[in-house]
Structure 1
Amino acid sequence: MESGEAYRSSSAEVLLGAHDPVRDVLALARPRAVAPVPLRATAPWEARFSPFPHIKLGVVVEGQCWLRVDGRAPLLLSTGDFYLLGDPPPYSLGSSTEDTSAKGPEIPPGSVAYTCSVDFTFQDSDASTLFSSLPPAMLVKADDDAGRLLWNIATLLVHEIRTCEAGQSLVLEHLAQILLVHMLRSHAGSSHEPLGWLASVADDGIGAALRAVHADPRHRWTLDELSGIATMSRSAFAAHFRNRVGRPPLDYLIEWRMQLARAALRTEDSLTAIAEAVGYQSESAFSTAFRRVVGMPPREFRASLRARPRDRA
């Protein structure tokens, strides 16, 4: 690849999803969806949940309830509403707000609420790219375009929960993953919170540069090349990228390379092969960059992985 112009010749492939940064990050983070948990309750009721260091996604299948996340205003959820909590502190669902200043109707005694939630755990710390772009609590209402689409998927999820048929666990896992991706898309396209890594992926200029980096992380990208792909001046691109993504373009490139390297160090590949795969011409240059970003040499990092209990299949 000689220039940004040469890269743009393959833009059709990128737009078709051949190089999707969200897919890349999720693949490295290795998400695992815990079987959806249905909850049916009659007012007055409350269910309290402990802090959870990953992602929780839920939908109100029937009725209404209040979502209360510690430190935030209560949110009233109705049938068809979805919520996503990124790295949430203690929170609760219930029929009461316990907050006289909260806006919304009282849920009368005897009212039935039926909710369903999924816990997503990530098997690798590289989910940090994803978590850092999520708000503590995200809500998609039933009457939103995204909400109507999510509801179609959720009806399949609820059907699978109610009918214990062959392959149920596989179907539930895939439906949960689809729900997660659509919730992330909804957040990325939200006009209320337009900044952040997820929104940047969908940006015409910054997104094109991000997709280029993810498509070929071993390429020795320059600021001129990336700004050319984004069709922006060098200075405007650097400022816009930092504002949207939270770090300079070449810092993002290095950090993404190190995320790929951490995943590769789980394999038996040699350090020389890993260094070459992530864009370094020598093992020593790779080791220096890895230590600077991760805080330890790659050999030490690999040894620490082998000392841990193996992940369950």
Structure 2
Amino acid sequence: MSDSHVTPPPPSPSAGRRRAGTTAALIRAQDTAIPQADRAGSGEPPTPAQAFDALHAYCAPALIRQAYLLTGRHDRARDAVVRAFRLAWQRWPEVAHDRDPAGWVRAATYDCALSPWHRLRLRDRHPDPPSDPADRALQRALLRLPPSYRRTLVLYDGVGLDLPETAAETEASTPATANRLMHAREAVAACLPELADPAALHRGLLRLGSAERSPAPGSRDIRTAGERSIRAWTRCALALTVTVAGATALTLETAPTHYLAPVSPGHAVQGLPVPGSLGPLSRDALKLSTKLRKEAGGGPERLVPQAR
């Protein structure tokens, strides 16, 4: 089936409850998280820590339940939320100016929960099944889906995002997202025919997500751990910089300043003739030597120039 001719899936029952109430709910959570004593006085805007605590109070409980739908494990869901909020605090200026801070943290949570590195740990291969048999069957059906299909199904039928928002958060085109959603619904309906209706699937996802009752980690602990991590990475970067600078200085100090040609090692030369040794003249050589001495000029006439 071509993506350009995919029929949009029927809307989820929760898709109609749009983000209109998100801003108001976030403001109410912020009013609850910030003490009245801190807000009294000049009416200044909340500090970054107070705004982060408000976002955490609003998002963390729901994100733990959503991460449990994606992973099937309580500890992995909690760890994904902690990592996402720690990353949000480290990049707080970016998150604070984002159009949807809650969506930013949700996307980070989903990325951490579906990271392929978790497959290397043996304990992550075995989910924590809920006590209800229907919830266990739905969890098995969800975990059989590819990660991208599972994420699309949870966002659309669980969280209640519409199709364009789901496509934007999963970084896919709208036709491809609709195709993933329809295949995910068909796979779940093949295992659980009673969940073929989107309304029944939505209720099943909510019921399975409510099985995750782990308390959300404290926002102050997350901020403290994030700042400690930043300090540790800063120290490591400084130590590495000092090490590289010291090694460079040592190299410049000990390296030669000019080229020294290497001296070839000596070796024996073979195949040369043995030099002759001088001995006494023979009788013939002695006669020739006497004759040459007697000649004029000490040699033959042809070798001596004549003056005329």
Q: TM-score, normalised by structure 2?
A: 0.25
Compare CA radii of gyration and give the structure with the larger one.
2
- Between Structure 1 and Structure 2, the one with more helix by share is 2
Normalising to structure 1: TM-score of the pair?
A: 0.25
